[in-house]
Amino acid sequence: MPEPKRTPLFPVYASCNARVVDYAGWSLPVQFEGIAAEHRQVRNGAGLFDVSHMGEILIAGSHALPFLQYLLPNDCSKLVPGKIIYSPMCYPDGGCVDDLLVYMLGREVYLLVVNAANTAKDLAWILSNKAGFRVTVDDLSDAYAQLALQGPGALEIINGLTDKAGDIKYYWFKREVKVAGHDCLVSRTGYTGEDGFELYTAPENAVSLWGAILQTGQAAPVGLGARDTLRLEASLPLYGHELSPAITPVESGLARFLAAEKTPYLGADVILEQLRTGPPRTLIGLELETRAVPRADYEVFMGELKVGYVTSGTLSPYSGRPIAMALVQTLAARGNDPLAIRIRDKAFPARRVALPFYQRRRG
């Protein structure tokens, strides 16, 4: 087995008391102080994440927009320089290659931010579909370190480190912003359900930038464990769980990110049919009254009939109750018949609840 890769911030993990694990071929911190404490830090203040393992793929050229319109089901023609959209990327049968963010850097230049575990696969898929399009495709993943500053206190911290990022709107970004003296691309995005920013900088700047943010005394380091509980409470999909080659974005409840009016694009036949008639399966929220914790792949039953499975589950630090997202037959999703999750050969009643489980207060 190859040695796990390390981000530019690996040298600071030990000084932050990180517990490091192998994740998607990377050595990354699963926790620092502890998952529950880090989760609360993000919900109530600000947390700092190392997400430098994410992939960045640049698509440029005179056909960049037509290529993205063919490659992705969301409508990239709505982009202008400085704006970002989220989109799944699909196979012809509607299953998901990945989900990603598209940054419009300039006319005919777009940066795709993809999941770390899928970077090589995504790059190969993009290259395999570029025939006939005048574009260049470059993997720039090694050119970036990425830090995510998340939580209601993130704005105050950013305002204290730069005067050029605090007015960035949600899902917009600015380039060439000096943050603590370092050149950054700063976007108002994140994966926690909170307000926050993601900072892209040269790898050699990462340790200094990380230190400058923590030295404010207003943020604490956060690992993969809390990142997962935060995104689950916010009902944000995780590739390999709520999205996969076997799950369409319609089944995952992502219809708002699918442009029904534009064709052709990869997966359009299946996606448009499911938008028109409804998907065979639907992602729903479930909550248990007991302390038994549902986990991915646990089976969901309606009476004696298996109707689906848990895609992600945890004990919610916010509500204190076990929660799960589950992919179930649409009739079971919409019906009133009781559901149960089988945990260690015992069925625990689970009630349907609206997604997301948590939504931040705005104002």
- Residue 240: helix, strand or coil by DSSP? coil
Tokens 């299946």 belong to 270
Q: Mean per-residue pLDDT for 247-254? A: 98
Domains of the chain (ranges; CATH) run 5-51+144-233 (3.30.1360.120), 55-140 (3.30.70.1400), 280-353 (2.40.30.110)
* Predicted pLDDT at 49: 98
Q: What are phi and psi of 306, to 5 degrees?
A: -75, 125
- ω into 4 cis (within 30 of 0): no
34-45 residue pLDDT tens: 999 999 999 999
Per-chain mean pLDDT for the chain: 97
The Cα–Cα gap between 141 and 126 comes to: 15
Tens-place pLDDT, residues 326-347: 999 999 999 899 999 999 999 9
pTM over 0.95: yes
Q: Is the pLDDT of residue 141 over 70?
A: yes
Is residue 51 pLDDT above 90, yes or no?
yes
Within 10 A of 184 (CB to CB), how many other CB atoms are there? 28
pLDDT score for 363: 56
Report pLDDT for 88.
98
Q: Which residues contact 116 (CB under 8 A, 6 or more apart)?
A: 23, 24, 25, 26, 53, 54, 55
Each residue of 278-302: pLDDT tens digit? 999 999 999 998 989 999 999 999 9
Which among 23, 24, 25, 29 is positioned nearest to 10, based on CA atoms?
Answer: 29
Tell me if residue 176 falls in helix, strand or coil: strand
Residue 144 has pLDDT above 80, yes or no: yes
pLDDT score for 278: 97
Please give the share of the chain, as a percent, with pLDDT higher than 90: 96
pLDDT in tens, 231-241: 999 999 999 99
Lookup: tokens for 314: 């945890």
The amino acid present at 172, given as its one-letter code, is W
Confidence bin at 171 (pLDDT 50/70/90): very high
Number of H helices, E strands in the chain: 9, 20
Which region among 259-263, 270-274, 352-356 has the lowest average model confidence (pLDDT)?
259-263
Q: Is it the case that residue 362 has pLDDT exceeding 80?
A: no
User: Per residue in 184-217, pLDDT tens?
Assistant: 999 999 999 999 999 999 999 999 999 999 999 9
∠34-39-41 over CA atoms, to 5°? 95
pLDDT over 60 at 74, yes or no: yes
Q: Are residues 260 and 75 in contact, defined by beta-carbon separation less than 8 angstroms? A: no
Q: Measuring CA to CA, which residue among 206, 201, 216, 276 is closest to residue 46?
A: 216
d(C-alpha 216, C-alpha 218), whole Å: 5
| Structure-token pair, residue 350 | 């689970």
Identify the band that residue 361 occupies on the pLDDT scale cut at 50, 70 and 90: confident
